[in-house]
Amino acid sequence: MARLTIVTIVVAITAVVLVVELLRGRRLRQKYAFLWVVVAGATVVISVSPTLLQRASALLGIAVPSNLLFLVSLLILFGVSLQLSIEVGVLEEQARRLAEEVGALRLRLEEVEWRAGTDVGSSRGSETDVDEPHVRPDGIRPH
């Protein structure tokens, strides 16, 4: 075997081992792991049998087999980038919605705490509670 073939096989096997370890540590989701295992497997197949790449490029009318390899790599990277961009957009929307919900809940909690504080003060019958207008923690006076 040629030295390049051995290096390529070692890199592909290392990639598969890395993907498996990331899966075990729950740092990589299964849907992405499948893609990387397929890429690593294809790398091993192409490195062991480079004539497959030559035949595929001839079939597609691409003069240089490495150009086909670059095209396929570019398409894979484009697909992964597009998928990740979509997921980032979804996560940003979820984060915005959760922040709004937390803000609304915080305001409601402050209002409940304020009402509980005024109920306690009115039950004591303190004259200062009657004379001073009550203001919620957010500075809004109740009606």
Over the stretch 32-73, which tens digit does the pLDDT of each residue have? 888 888 888 888 888 888 899 999 999 999 999 999 999 999
> What would the mean pLDDT of 97-115 be, rounded to a whole number?
95
Contact 65, 57 (CB under 8 A): yes
Q: What percent of the chain has pLDDT over 90?
A: 52
Q: Give, as one character, the DSSP assignment of residue 25.
A: T
Pairwise CA distance, residues 23 & 69, whole Å: 27
Tokens encoding 60: 């597609």
Sign of CA dihedral 59, 65, 68, 69: positive
Delimit the domains of the chain by residue range.
Answer: 3-122
> What would the mean pLDDT of 59-88 be, rounded to a whole number?
94
| Other beta carbons less than 10 A from residue 91's beta carbon | 10
CA angle, 6 as apex, 2 and 10 as ends, to 5°? 170
Q: What is the pTM of this model?
A: 0.65
